[in-house]
Structure 1
Amino acid sequence: MIPHINRLLELWRIAAHYRLDTLVPAEELPEKARHTLALIRLHPAAWSSKERKNPLKLKQALEDMGPLAIKLGQLLSTRRDLMPPELLQQLVLLQDKVKPFDSNVAKVRIQQSLKADVDTLFSRFDEQPLAAASIAQVHTAALHDGREVVVKVTRPDIRKQILQDFEILTWLGTNLEKRLEAARAFHLSEIIQDYRQVILNELDLSLEADNTRRMRHYFTGSSMMYVPDVYMDSTDVMVAERITGVPISDIATFDKLGMDRAQLAERGLTIFFTQVFRDNFFHADMHPGNVFVETINPSNPRFIALDCAIMGELSKHDQMTVARMLLAVMNSDFMQLILVVHQAGWIPPGTDQDALAREMRRTVGPMVSKPMHELDFAGILIQVMDIARRFHLEIPPQLMLLLKTLVHVEGLGTDLYPELDIWKLAKPILTEWIKAQMNPQKNLKELGQKIPDLLLGAQDFPTLLIDSLNGLKNQSAWHAKQLHELQMMRLEVEQQQKRSWIFGSSMAIFLSIAIIAPWYISIILMILVSFLAVWRIAK
């Protein structure tokens, strides 16, 4: 049964009201997409709509559809290679210019959440929002000691709609997995559930505050990135240091101040790889509304990290797998790539690995060998996903957040500096990181750090050994008992088969004689057969 049918009907009405079927000419779309456009036109809201020529209809439609639709728009806003300029301009507005909610509601939420009056908390509170996004909006204010701050407040009544939309997505993912092999290979349902938890965590600003403090610790004193301090936080409110800078998409300001955009792009990419491999704690929502650049020192600008609600982490095994895969692609060593994927357990048994390597070389090789300013990471990713579908590869859900982030990073980097050499910059970083992981001294040091735990655990070793031996002994006794019972069952079955054969043969002989014998002999034989049947049943 389709969940929340009323919500689906509401989404259909919004699409029809804003005439989203007129965004792109039908002839430029695939055949299946045209059927969706025809469905939009069937809704009565489309018949009387006056939004056909509205220059902001896509932005407004996504706003009305809710937080998940806005998130999708933010992701697409970084992909100038995928979106027409007129649509991209609307999506960029979703980064920090979503329709705000009433400031009086914001003040009530602040007072209830921080358990103090706004005038007690701040010497000044600006009611006009500085920015508004999918989950929250931001107001500027000042503390009583003069420090300038930003106050982030979550939108009211947002959780219920998010939960409804994820129930619809879960139903959709389950059905797609039943019908599409690619959906099963990428564990679509698990990805949806993981992202559901990510979004729900984003509603808790105390988690964002903790993430911000952790990232600030990693980059304390850094010349590459600055992370604002957090002063107060709760589930619905976070008060943080106000920073001075411009969004990373403000290229006009960079040019006006004479900033080196190539250096800035390389620094941004270095920060990303540092987060993934050094800290294993990376910003997973890097749209331009969350990434700013300082303008105080144009000759040596720093990035500013905002909105640390969605963060990613990988296991040590996945870190090493990702690094080795990227290096194999950079070196065009596709047999090594397949070996890494095989060791990661992503290739099912019986797969022709030579054929898989040839397919990767044929499909991905030409794209990687292109000049770096022509490299389309999103295109490469789509090709790899198609190969994964055809060869039944298993892609762990925890890596999808990293892939989404990498698409963001590549989009931001190429916008900032189109000739960014992503592979040339990443290769030495990855090589040095892998060498560090393989360093015997480092491994011995880590082993040394674990010795106290090993020694403490050794105290329990005799007990664990005795328990294990007793377990094996009991298991052996259980197996012996099971084997004995199976042997008795087998013997009984054999005896049953033997008796059945004797009984059947006897019946056939008696019936044959009864047919040709005199009547009194037949009666005697029938009595004998009856006794034989009773004996057979009794046995």
Structure 2
Amino acid sequence: MRSRRLYQIVKTFLNYGLDELLPAKKTPLIAKIARFSLFWLRNKHKNQPIERRFRLAIEALGPVFIKFGQMLSTRRDLLSPELAAELAQLQDQVEAFDGEQAKAIIIDAMGEELFNQHFIDFDSTPLASASIAQVHTATYVNGSNAEQQQQEVVIKVIRPKIERIINADLKVMHTFASLVSRFYSQGKRLRPVEVVAEYRKTITDELDLLRETANAIQLNRNFVDDKVLYVPEVHSEFCYKNVMVMERIYGIGVGDIAELNNQGVNMQLLAERGVEVFFTQVFRDSFFHADMHPGNVFVDATDPQDPTWIAIDCGIVGTLNKEDKRYLAENFVAFFNRDYHKVAQLHVDSGWVPANTSVDEFEFAIRTVCEPIFEKPLAEISFGQVLVNLFNTARRFNMEVQPQLVLLQKTLLYIEGLGRQLYPQLDLWKTAKPFLEDWVKQQMGPKALFNSVKDNLPFWSEKLPELPNLVYDYLKMGKESALAQQTLLAQLQQQQQKQHQRLTYSIFAATLFIGAILLHTDDQTVMSVSLLLPALLCFGLAIKK
């Protein structure tokens, strides 16, 4: 299967002329032989720019490559603007697999009796189909016949045999990535092998719907009392590795601007709430939906003047630890205030760039990139692009790309793009700055100290009754430790004294022995013997000591 798939991929690449990406002077011999051997496979799209041909080839190769292209489109720090724009056009609508086969997978996962007992009106025609899975509608039935409750649900099903296909394609991707890294002039900068490794982790996580179930439950819990975001309820008792059941939602696709306007939705409030959703997830919860592209976001316009965001497909989430959150927030605030020296220093302090980095040189590089941006009106500045520029600049100073920051960058670009699409006048800087400044104040100063004491008070209260015993044990341990140290010191002193005596006897014995040798002549034998005997005695005492 792998060799057949490899031929399909090579054929597609050649039909779209992607071999032009390999520089003529550095093209490996094996590639030249392959090109010559497959002479009948010619570029059929010569009139199209190379970036468009790359996107068309990705689409032709099917779901796995489409998903890869979608992920790659978010790495604008690695791609040319033209290629990134082309890849951004990749759609989630993928050819569906047979609905009856999907039903068979569901029954196999939960059992026929359980399925028939709780699910009716299963629609074999998919509601939507994506690269990894597709969803079908059904009605969930709960309770006895007398008190029966019904709820519309959607059932998500992983594509059959998709894992085997993904693994085969990933091996081929890795082979191509290695070739690009070695022979393409921009290979080192693009780091294709690392990109494929990142994609492997992402797509492997998405294959496990139990992981997505847990993510959805957590996100729902985080916003249960909040009007800005709604995450559909998950029926976890019917969720498995390849099947997931959740509440069906009705909303307007966030990309359907015409319908949102027809409904009279307050677009400014909706855009600002999108920003609030992002920063709340990142800085309050440290747990954010990292795949909020238009296909996964809807709007509840029941009250057009009080719209709510709806997020689905929680397979990819990002997290930040406390240190990353603090440094990131301080970086943002420093950018708002154009304090580039602090931005540079924060990158060094956080360990994002090496400790020996010159802060002054780094500051100058950041200023060079960002000052022209700030000459524009704030409403025209892309916050996400500033973040991309920052990471690009930092990479010149050997910054190691943090996976959680790549996800955050991708999510911010999505959110900002959606926000500006909804409300072009959106000033993301103005919307985000008060939120970030307030968060930084909460993390430092008297308020932060009070919150820390309040958070730790239950623990301290629990340990307070044990305090006298802990103090007694500490003092007792200290006393015992002091006695042990005194005993050890006495032993060391005694040992040192013995060593000193042994050394004295040895020196004296050696002196007598040497004197005996010097005096050992025919007329002085008696005197030499008289010196030799005390010397032997001193050696014996030294050994005994």
Structure 2 residue 13 is matched with structure 1 residue 15: yes
Total equivalences in the alignment? 457
| Corresponding residue to 2:100 among 100, 104, 108 | 104
Give the Cα separation in 1 of the matches to 2:338 and 2:183.
34
Q: Which residue of 1 aligns with 2:213?
A: 209
Question: TM-score if structure 1 supplies the norm length?
Answer: 0.72
Q: CA 1:98 to 1:56, structure 2 compared with 1: closer, same or farther past 3 Å?
A: farther
1:167-316 matches, within 5 Å, as 167-168=171-172, 193=197, 195-231=199-235, 232-316=238-322
Q: Which residue of 1 aligns with 2:334?
A: 328
Structure 2 residue 124 is matched with structure 1 residue 115: no
Letter in 2 for 1:270: E
Give the Cα separation in 2 of the matches to 1:319 and 1:181.
36
Q: CA deviation at 1:77?
A: 9.1
Q: CA deviation at 1:279?
A: 1.1
Deviations 1:121-142 (A, max 9, x none): 4220111111011110011111
Q: Which residue of 2 aligns with 1:485?
A: none
Q: CA 1:174 to 1:86, structure 2 compared with 1: closer, same or farther past 3 Å?
A: closer
Q: CA 1:345 to 1:102, structure 2 compared with 1: closer, same or farther past 3 Å?
A: same
| Corresponding residue to 2:136 among 132, 135, 139 | 139
Give yes or no for contact 1:59–1:90 (8 Å, CA) kept in 2: no
Counterpart secondary structure, 1:238: strand
Give yes or no for contact 2:157–2:243 (8 Å, CA) kept in 1: yes
Structure 2 residue 474 is matched with structure 1 residue 441: no
State the structure with more CA Rg: 2
Deviations 1:360-408 (A, max 9, x none): 0011222244223432345434433432232222333332211121222
Deviations 1:258-309 (A, max 9, x none): 2222221111111011011111110001111111111322221111110111
Relative contact order, higher structure (CA 8 A, sep 6+): 1
Letter in 1 for 2:109: S
Counterpart secondary structure, 2:61: helix
Q: CA 1:49 to 1:116, structure 2 compared with 1: closer, same or farther past 3 Å?
A: farther
Give the Cα separation in 2 of the matches to 1:47 and 1:182.
25
Q: CA 1:168 to 1:325, structure 2 compared with 1: closer, same or farther past 3 Å?
A: farther
Letter in 2 for 1:229: E
Structure 2 residue 365 is matched with structure 1 residue 359: yes
Give the Cα separation in 1 of the matches to 2:69 and 2:438.
35
Give yes or no for contact 2:72–2:87 (8 Å, CA) kept in 1: no
Larger deviation, residues 166-175 vs 152-161: 166-175
Q: Which residue of 2 aligns with 1:47?
A: 42
Q: CA 1:74 to 1:337, structure 2 compared with 1: closer, same or farther past 3 Å?
A: closer
| Corresponding residue to 1:380 among 383, 386, 389 | 386
Give the Cα separation in 2 of the matches to 1:333 and 1:86.
32
Q: CA deviation at 1:228?
A: 1.0
Q: CA 1:61 to 1:340, structure 2 compared with 1: closer, same or farther past 3 Å?
A: closer
Give the Cα separation in 2 of the matches to 1:329 and 1:163.
42
Q: CA deviation at 1:78?
A: 12
Q: CA deviation at 1:433?
A: 0.9
Give the Cα separation in 2 of the matches to 1:431 and 1:199.
36
Gaps of 5+ in 1: 474-539
Give yes or no for contact 2:348–2:355 (8 Å, CA) kept in 1: no
Letter in 2 for 1:390: R
Give yes or no for contact 1:185–1:393 (8 Å, CA) kept in 2: no
Letter in 1 for 2:368: R
**Alignment identity in percent?**
34
| Corresponding residue to 2:127 among 130, 137, 143 | 130
Larger deviation, residues 170-179 vs 420-429: 170-179
Letter in 1 for 2:131: S
Q: CA deviation at 1:83?
A: 5.9
Counterpart secondary structure, 2:126: coil
Deviations 1:483-533 (A, max 9, x none): xxxxxxxxxxxxxxxxxxxxxxxxxxxxxxxxxxxxxxxxxxxxxxxxxxx
Q: CA deviation at 1:343?
A: 1.0
Give the Cα separation in 2 of the matches to 1:56 and 1:122.
45
